[in-house]
Structure 1
Amino acid sequence: MLPFFTNEKSDVLDSYGYKFRLTELHMTSEQLDPLKHKFDEVGSDALTVIDSMFPPPPPRAGWNDKPKNEDPRPDRDTYALLRDNHGSDPKLQALWDEVNSVPDWVDWDQIKRGQDVFYRYAPAAVAGFAFQGLLATTGASYRPAETLVRTGGHSTRVAKNRLFETFQLILQVTKSLDDVKPGGAGFVSAVRVRLLHASVRDRILKLNAQRPGYFDVEKFGVPINELDSMQSVCAFSTNLVWLALPRQGIYVRHQEALDYLALWRWVGYVLGTPHWVLETPEKALASMESLLHDCLNPSKNSKVLAQNLVNALDGVAPIYEPKEFFEAGTRFINGNKMCDEIGIGKPGIYWDAVVRGQAWALMLVTYVSRSIPALDRWQIAPVSKGGSSCGERISSLGNRDHQFRE
C-alpha cells in the first residue's frame, strides 16, 4: 500500500490524465470497498413499510412500459404516501424526521449562493454534466452499470428518460431556495429518488434470492450502495468544480466552490447519500480523487450504457445536435484514453473544432459576465427562470415507481 505522505514521484497517481498525490484525506481501496455493502437503511426500512401498506404494482418489462390501453399516470406517489402516513409507523416517522430536520451545518444563504453558482456557469455546467458526469462516468463505472442494466439500461429510450430525469432533478434543486427547502419541489423530488433507489435495491435483491446469480452481491455490493451514492453526489458537485469546468478552461472562485458544495451536501443529505464527503473542500477533493482512482473501470455493460446515452442525445431537443457533437465533447473533456476504453466514437476534426470553439466562447463569456456585477445578475436571473420552465416540461421525476427489466 502506498504511504499517505511522500514527496516521491512514484506516489503521483494518474486516473485517465488526472494526476494527484495521496494525502491523509484520501481513502484507500481498503477503506472504500466496505462501503459497497452499506446502504441507506432508513430509506429502505421506510419503503418496506410503504409497500406493506400500499403494495406496488407488479413490475413490467422495461422502464414504466405500460400497454397502450393502460392508464399512463403514475402508479403511486411514494412521497405523498410518506407525508400522509408517517405518523402511523416508527420507520416512516424516522425517515420523515430525518429529511425534515435541518442539520446545524446548513446555511440557507450559502445554499442560495450555491444555486446562483450553477446558473452563473450554466452553459458550461450543463455541458460538463452531459460530457463528463453522465457519459464518461457512466461508461467508466462498472459497478453502478450492473444495477442500471437491470433497470432497462440496454434500451436507448430508457437512457433518454434517465437523462431527462437526472437533468430535471438538477433544475429542481437549483430553481430557488424555497424549492430545495423541506416541502419544496426539489426537496420532494430528492425524497422520491431516495425511495426509488430503495425500491430498485429491494427488487433486485429479491430477484437474486429467487434466481441465484442474477446479481453478484459479493462482487458488486448491494445495489445502489454507499459507494455508488458517493460517486453520484460527487458527479454533481466535485466533478463539476474540479474536472468538467476546468477542462473547459473555467475555474470557479474559492467561495463559489464552498457555496456549490454546500448546496449538494444538503441535497445529498436528503437523498440519504454519504454527504460527509462534502464537509470541507479538502475532503471533497480528496474523495473525488479517491473515487477516480478506485472506481473507474469500464465493463461490457458500462460501455453499452455510454453508447446508449450518446444515441439517446442524437438530435434531441433543445440542442438538436447529432451524436458526433456529444462524442467530440466527451473526448474533449475526458481524453481519448477513457473514451477509447468505453467505446465512444471518433467524430473527426470538424466536430472537435466545433466543441473547442464552443469551449473558448463559453470561457470568454463566463469570465467577462462574472466580472461585471450588473451583467452577472442579469445572466443568473433569466437563465434560472428559463431552466426552471424547461424542467417543468420534463415528466415529473419519481412520481412513478421504478420499473425494470427482469
Structure 2
Amino acid sequence: MTTNSGLHHIEFKAADVPADLRPGPLLGRTVNYEQAVGIFGRRTVEHIAAHYNIGDELGYRAYVALREKAPKGRAKEIYDAAVAQGIDAVADPPAELVALFEHVDHVPDWVDWDQLRRGSIAYWRAGKLVVMGLAYAAIGAGFRTYGGSRELVMSRRLIEPDQVGRRLTETLRWAANASRPDGMRRSSDGFRITMQVRWIHAAVRYYCSRNEHWDWNDWGISVDNTDAVYTMGTLFAESVIRALGTVGVRLSARERDDVVALWRYIGHVMGIPEDINFTDWADLQRKSAIIRMLEHPADDGCRTLLDSLVTYMCEAEIEGFQVLPAFVDSRLTPQRKRTLTNGLMRAWAGDEICDQLGVPDNALRYLVPAAKPFVTVHDQVLRKILKQDDEAKALRTLREFDAALTLHDGETEVADPDDVVRMLAKNSSSTDAVPGR
C-alpha cells in the first residue's frame, strides 16, 4: 500500500487505533526518515517505523477480553492464575487469553537454555559495575526517547518525589529477576514478573487509547513495539555491554551473543513480535542505530524525568544498596554525588544523549577512561590467572542487589496497574502533565 506522499507502509491490524492514524514515517516523533532510508535501506527502516503504530497485540487483546468478559473485579485474578498455573487452570477462558498463553508457553526453536544461562552469567559477572551501567547507561539514558517516554511523563510516576523511588525499584526488581540465571524459565519469578509487566503495559495502552489527550499523530500507539525493542535490546543489552567495555570489562563475541539471546527471549515473553525482535549482536546494533536516528530529540518532559531520577539517586537512602560503591557513596554530599553522576553519564551514555537531556559536562567524565586500564587488568587477572568462578560472582552480585529490592509492608512487586491508570487519569488532563507541549 502506498500513501499520497509516496511512502510505502505495512498493513497492520492493531486494535483500537484511529482509522486516520498517520503511518509511522509520518508521525511527529519520526525524524530523519529519508536519511535513515539512504543508510539502512527503505524496507528495514519502513518496517521499524511502522511498528510505532503496532503494539503487543496478543497481550492487549487478552487484556481487553478479560476486562470486558470476566466477572467484575476478577480479570487480573484470572490472568494471574494462567501465569502461575497455566491456561488449563482457567475455566472457560476467552479465546484471546488462550492465544496469548499458547504463544508464551511455546518456547521458540532459537531458544537455547544453556545459552541464556551463559548470557545471564556474562551480564552479571562484573559485579557493581553492572548496576552502575544499568543506572547511568540504560535507565537514565533511556529517557532520551521522546515518543517512548510520553506515558511516564503523563502519569508523573517518575516525576513526583514520592513516586520516583518506587518506580525505579520496580524496574530494577523486574530486570534483576528476568536476567538472573534461569529467571525466564516458565516456573521462575523472572517469567512471572515479566508477564505482570506485560499486563501493566496493556492497561496503560487501554487507557491512553481512550484518552482525549493522547496525541496519536505525534506519538503513535501507546507502548509500541519499536520502543520495546529499544528498551529490551538497546538499553538493557547493548548499552550495558558498551558501558562495561568503556570501563574495561570486555565481553567476548560469544558472551555478547549470549547476553543478546537472553534479552531477546525476555523481549519475546514481553510481547515483541518475531518480525521486529532483534536476533543477534549485529542485528541489534543495526536496529538500535535506526531507532536512534528516527527518534525525535528529547524534550522538556524527557529532561524532567531524568532530573527527578538523578535527584532521587543522589539524595535518597536506598536501603541495603547504593548505585555508587559504598566507600564513595558515604563520603559524598548529594551535590557532589550529582556532579559525579553527571560525569559518569557523560562517559557512559555519550555526549549526544547527554546534550539532549541537559546533563552538565564536567571533568569527572574522565574517571572512566582513566580507570579502564586498571579495570581491564583486574578483570583479566581474576578470570585468567585466578580462575574466577563467573557464575558464583554473578550470583553474589544478584544476592547483594536483592537487598535493595526486598518487598516491605504495603509495597507491590511491580506497579499496580490500577494505580498507574489512576495517575494517568489524574495528570493527563493537566496543562503541566507533558512539559514542553
TM-score range, shorter chain: 0.7 to 0.9
One-letter amino acid matched to 2:146: Y
Answer whether contact 1:132 1:333 (CA < 8 A) is retained.
Answer: yes
Contact 1:156–1:309 (Cα < 8 Å) also in 2: no
SS for the counterpart of 2:115 is: helix
Matched, 1:132 2:131: no
Q: For residue 185 of structure 1, what is the aligned residue in structure 2?
A: 189
Matched, 1:397 2:413: yes
Distance 1:288 1:91 in 2: 31
Q: Distance in 2 between matches of 1:293 and 1:248?
A: 26
CA pair 25-303 structure 1, distance change in 2 beyond 3 A? same
Mapping of residues 5-404 of structure 1, within 5 Å: 22=39, 27-28=44-45, 30-52=46-68, 53=70, 55=72, 79-83=79-83, 84-85=89-90, 87-138=92-143, 140-152=144-156, 153-177=158-182, 179-208=183-212, 214-234=213-233, 235-241=235-241, 243-274=242-273, 276-295=276-295, 297-316=297-316, 317=318, 318-319=321-322, 320=329, 322-346=337-361, 348-349=362-363, 351-352=364-365, 362-372=375-385, 374-377=387-390, 378-393=392-407, 395-398=411-414, 400-401=416-417, 402-403=420-421, 404=423
Q: Which amino acid aligns with 2:191?
A: F
Q: Secondary structure at the match of 2:155?
A: coil
> 1:357: how far off?
5.7
Instruction: Report the alpha carbon displacement of residue 135 of structure 1 after superposing the two structures with TM.
Output: 1.3
Are 1:76 and 1:400, in contact at CA under 8 Å, matched by a contact in 2?
no
Deviation digits for residues 300-333 of structure 1 (CA, Å, limit 9, x no counterpart): 2111111111112113422246322221211111
Distance, in Å, in 2 between the alignment partners of 1:337 and 1:131 is: 14
> Alpha-carbon deviation of 1:116?
0.5
How far apart are the structure 1 equivalents of 2:338 and 2:247? Answer: 19
- Contact 2:146 2:299 (C-alpha < 8 Å) held by counterparts: yes
1:76 Cα offset (Å): 5.5
- Residues paired across the two proteins, number: 360
3-state DSSP of counterpart to 2:108: coil
Q: Deviations over 1:62-89 (max 9, x none)?
A: xxxxxxxxxxxxx955741444537521
User: Alignment RMSD, CA only?
Assistant: 2.9
Q: CA deviation at 1:277?
A: 3.3
Whole-angstrom CA distance in 2 between matches of 1:27 and 1:373? 46
Q: Is the 8 A contact 1:50 1:81 kept in 2?
A: no
TM-aligned CA deviation for residue 223 of structure 1: 0.7
Match of 1:187, SS state, is helix
Q: In the alignment, which residue of structure 1 is the partner of 2:8? A: none
In structure 1, C-alpha distance between the alignment counterparts of 2:107 and 2:352, rounded to whole Å: 43
Quote the Cα distance in structure 1 between the aligned partners of 2:284 and 2:114: 21
Q: Work out the CA distance in 1 between the residues paired with 2:296 and 2:258.
A: 27
Give the gaps of 5 or more residues in structure 2.
Answer: 1-31, 33-37, 84-88, 323-328, 426-437
Letter of the structure 1 residue corresponding to residue 298 of structure 2? P
Residue 175 of structure 1 aligns with an amino acid whose one-letter code is R
The TM-score with structure 1 as length reference comes to 0.79
What SS is found at the alignment partner of 1:277?
Answer: coil
* Structure 1 residue 54, shift from structure 2 partner: 5.1
SS of 2:186's partner is coil
Alignment CA distance shift 1:106-1:25 (3 Å): farther
Give the deviation of 1:191 after TM superposition: 0.5
Deviation at 1:390, TM superposition (A): 4.2
Distance 1:337 1:196 in 2: 31
Please identify, of 216-225 and 119-128, the stretch whose mean Cα deviation from structure 2 is larger: 119-128
Unpaired stretches in structure 1, ≥5 consecutive residues? 1-14, 16-20, 58-74, 209-213
Give how far 1:366 is off: 2.6
Q: Is 1:201–1:224's contact at 8 Å kept on the other side of the alignment?
A: yes
Q: Tell whether the 8 Å contact from 1:77 to 1:398 is kept in structure 2 after alignment.
A: no
Partner of 1:69: none
Contact 1:369 1:379 in 2 (8 A): no
Deviations 1:117-149 (A, max 9, x none): 1121232222222112111221x2110121211
Q: 1:24 and 1:358, CA in 2 relative to 1: closer, same or farther beyond 3 A?
A: same
What percent identity do the matched residue pairs reach?
Answer: 20
Corresponding residue number in structure 1 for 2:14: none
Report the Cα offset of residue 370 of structure 1.
Answer: 2.7
Secondary structure of the equivalent of 1:314? Answer: helix
Q: Which residue type is aligned with residue 111 of structure 2? A: V
Q: What is the deviation of 1:380?
A: 3.0
Residues 190 and 271 in structure 1, CA contact (< 8 A), matched pair in contact too = yes
CA offsets, 1:224-243, max 9 Å, x none?
Answer: 111111111121112222x3
Q: CA shift at 1:286, angstroms?
A: 0.8
Matched position secondary structure for 2:396: helix
- How many Å separate the matches in 2 of 1:173 and 1:315? 28
Give how far 1:35 is off.
0.9
Structure number with higher relative contact order (C-alpha < 8 Å, ≥ 6 residues apart): 1
